[in-house]
């Protein structure tokens, strides 16, 4: 004949061994992970409970039952409190009130333990203890006193609170930790369902299947520990680093649907909220669409965003996420604000291309632009004019006003000339008091009119430098290219330079064309 009580006792002992082994593993990890300590206590108390029940069902005797019931309650009294403590630590809830909550949990658990240990004096927890012979083997039929009912409420409230905390954490946490949160939610549900089955007497005889439930939860936690790094600090550290980054990070699947993002990304793009996870990122944040479709994004073409009265510049970088088989499973968009660096780069870029004093193109940049324009003119057979300018007797200006006054004259002169130019005219400073202008799409007749206008503008303008009124004139040498001759840019400049010397030889303040 099969002794079913011994078979169930063996199951309980195996369960107890598993739970206690996992508890020691948790205590070892408690040095690294905050929630490992309450998990260790929960498993230890569960193991004590299963161990006591294994011996309780070995003998059909009320005194024997009560002996091992008291052993069980050294674990069972603390299970509800330990589970709630674990849920609080795991979800990071009630941080400021944690010490007070822990004192309450321990106090309530100790109270029920003392009530059970002293039950023979008041019978307020178990009103009676009898033998139930209805099942496969004899079990304890327990009469429920007032404190037993209060303990039922304590368990239900603890498990419900744990369920609410873990479920809320599941929806609020990042994708990195969501599987771990799901393991906690399942464990709470299993415990709550098991307790309700026992309390509501769904099983027709007084069998406590709690030890079997501990086995199931032990299996769940084993998977969580081995496969989901439940006791490993790395995912927690990764999440905290992810959330504390000052740079924005948004993670999508290969189709561009949002999987995750950090706080910094939300601050940059307010549309990134939890409710929009699963939506297409380019739809929510249209500014990012070109950056998602481009592999290499130039720092000279940054993402610009208006924030209040300022424009902020961001460097966006796309990183492919691949699995162990090197298959692309998503992408991360890294967004770093570099407004100051970008403005500095722009300044350096400007200094490399523009004259430091007047702000027009320097010699090298002017040559590059002029070569491009000459190629275009040759391709389409369009005319252009190159004019060489020099300030007359500028050495006398420097001698009378000093270099500071000379600089003021140069700056104002450039402003006056620029006011007479078209947007597509290319104006540059060759050096000292010498300047050069390329006029695209300008025939000889119109070029002569423009140069005469420049002469008049300069000689009529009175410049204030070093608190003195100064008038200057310029000489211009120009050459016209009609689109037919095969001349290089250097040859055209030489012709304009030769024309300039002819203007100076003829008395200055005039324009000469050759």
Per-block mean pLDDT, blocks of 10 residues, the chain (514 long): 81 88 82 78 91 93 94 94 89 82 95 96 94 89 94 93 89 71 85 83 80 71 60 53 75 83 85 82 83 58 78 84 77 85 80 88 94 91 94 91 92 95 95 94 91 95 89 95 83 95 95 94
Phi, psi of 509 (to 5 degrees): 55, 45
Pairing of strands 248-252, 328-337: antiparallel
- Cα separation values, 67 from 16, 57, 70, 117, 146, Å: 18, 11, 6, 9, 21
Strand stretches in 262-383, DSSP E: 303-307, 310-322, 328-337
So where are the chain's domains? Answer: 4-234, 245-341, 354-513
Token pair for 137? 């083997």
The C-alpha atoms of residue 499 and residue 514 are separated, in whole angstroms, by: 6
Burial environment of residue 261 by CB neighbours within 10 A (0 to 12, 13 to 18, 19 or more): buried
CATH topology (fold) of 4-234: Rhopdopsin 7-helix transmembrane proteins (1.20.1070)
Strand partners of residue 310:
307
- Whether 461 sits among the annotated catalytic residues: the reply is no
Tell me, what's the pLDDT at 235? 53
CATH number of 354-513: 3.30.70.270
The C-alpha atoms of residue 285 and residue 289 are separated, in whole angstroms, by: 7
Token pair for 119? 């039950």
Tell me, what's the pLDDT at 1? 40
Terminal-residue alpha carbon distance, the chain: 125
CATH number of 245-341: 3.30.450.20
The C-alpha atoms of residue 510 and residue 395 are separated, in whole angstroms, by: 19
- Cα separation values, 51 from 46, 67, 188, 221, 272, Å: 9, 13, 21, 19, 51
Tell me, what's the pLDDT at 303? 80
* Active-site entry in 63, 239, 433, 462: 433
């Amino acid at each position: 004949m099969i002794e079913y009580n011994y078979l169930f006792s063996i199951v309980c002992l195996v369960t107890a061994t598993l739970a206690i082994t996992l508890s020691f593993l948790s205590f070892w990890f408690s040095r690294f992970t905050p929630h490992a300590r309450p998990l260790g206590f929960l498993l230890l108390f569960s193991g004590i409970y299963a161990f006591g029940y294994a011996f309780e069902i070995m003998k059909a005797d009320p005194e024997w039952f009560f002996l091992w019931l008291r052993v069980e309650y050294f674990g069972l009294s603390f299970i509800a409190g330990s589970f709630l403590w674990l849920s609080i630590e795991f979800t990071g809830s009630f941080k400021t009130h944690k010490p007070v909550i822990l004192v309450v949990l321990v106090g309530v658990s100790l109270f029920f333990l003392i009530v059970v240990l002293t039950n023979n004096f008041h019978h307020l927890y178990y009103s009676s203890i009898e033998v139930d012979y209805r099942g496969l083997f004899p079990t304890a039929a327990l009469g429920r006193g007032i404190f037993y009912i209060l303990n039922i409420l304590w368990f239900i409230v603890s498990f419900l609170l744990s369920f609410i905390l873990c479920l809320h954490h599941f929806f609020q946490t990042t994708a990195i930790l969501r599987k771990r949160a799901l393991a906690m939610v399942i464990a709470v549900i299993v415990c709550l369902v098991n307790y309700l089955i026992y309390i509501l007497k769904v099983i027709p005889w007084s069998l406590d299947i709690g030890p079997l439930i501990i086995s199931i939860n032990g299996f769940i936690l084993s998977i969580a520990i081995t496969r989901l790094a439940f006791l490993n600090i790395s995912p927690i550290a990764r999440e905290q680093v992810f959330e504390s980054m000052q740079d924005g990070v948004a993670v999508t699947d290969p189709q561009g649907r949002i999987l995750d993002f950090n706080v910094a990304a939300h601050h940059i793009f307010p549309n990134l909220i939890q409710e929009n996870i699963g939506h297409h990122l380019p739809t929510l944040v249209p500014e990012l669409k070109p950056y998602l479709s481009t592999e290499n994004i130039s720092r000279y073409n940054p993402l610009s965003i208006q924030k209040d009265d300022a424009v902020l510049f961001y460097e966006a970088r796309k990183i492919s996420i691949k699995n162990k088989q090197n298959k692309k499973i998503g992408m991360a968009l890294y967004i770093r604000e570099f407004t100051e660096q970008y403005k500095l780069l722009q300044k350096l870029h400007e200094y490399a291309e523009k004259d430091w004093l007047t702000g027009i193109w320097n010699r090298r940049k002017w040559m590059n632009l002029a070569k491009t324009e000459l190629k275009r003119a040759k391709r389409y057979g369009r005319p252009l004019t190159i004019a060489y300018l020099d300030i007359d007797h500028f050495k006398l200006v420097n001698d009378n006003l000093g270099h500071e006054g000379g600089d003021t004259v140069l700056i104002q002169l450039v402003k006056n000339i620029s006011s007479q130019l078209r947007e597509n005219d290319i104006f540059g400073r060759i050096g000292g008091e010498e300047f050069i202008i390329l006029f695209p799409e300008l025939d000889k007749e119109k070029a002569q009119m423009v140069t005469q206008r420049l002469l008049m503008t300069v000689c009529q303008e009175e410049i204030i430098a070093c608190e003195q009124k100064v008038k200057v004139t310029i000489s211009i040498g120009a050459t016209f290219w009609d689109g037919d001759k095969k001349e290089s840019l250097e040859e055209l400049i030489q012709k304009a330079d030769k024309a300039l010397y002819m203007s100076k030889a003829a008395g200055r303040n005039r324009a000469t064309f050759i």
